[in-house]
Amino acid sequence: MTTVTYSVPAIHCGHCTHTIEMEVGELQGVQSVKADQSTKKVQITFDAPVTEEKIKSLLAEIDYPVEGLINL
Ligand SMILES: [Cu+2]
């Protein structure tokens, strides 16, 4: 199980966080998604078959591109 936190500056409201949580949550292998409106961060816990690459390309597709990985 891997947890990553991404910086997603395009988040600007509760609709954005909801969309991200719904879309990323549908990827097989994603255990949890928490998108935060005030910090513009998305924390994702996942396992195979999904990969970071797939998560990032989905976020780019839905117009919430990842602009950085935050190492905790
Ligand atoms: Cu929004």
Residue whose token pair is 């949550």: 25
Judged against a pLDDT cut of 80, whether residue 34 lies above it is answered with yes
Q: What is the distance in A from the centroid of ligand 1 to the CA of 23?
A: 14
Q: What is the distance in A from the centroid of ligand 1 to the CA of 65?
A: 13
Residue-wise pLDDT tens digits, 44-66? 999 999 999 999 999 999 999 99
Q: What is the distance in A from the centroid of ligand 1 to the CA of 55?
A: 19
Q: What is the distance in A from the centroid of ligand 1 to the CA of 69?
A: 21
Q: What is the distance in A from the centroid of ligand 1 to the CA of 7?
A: 15
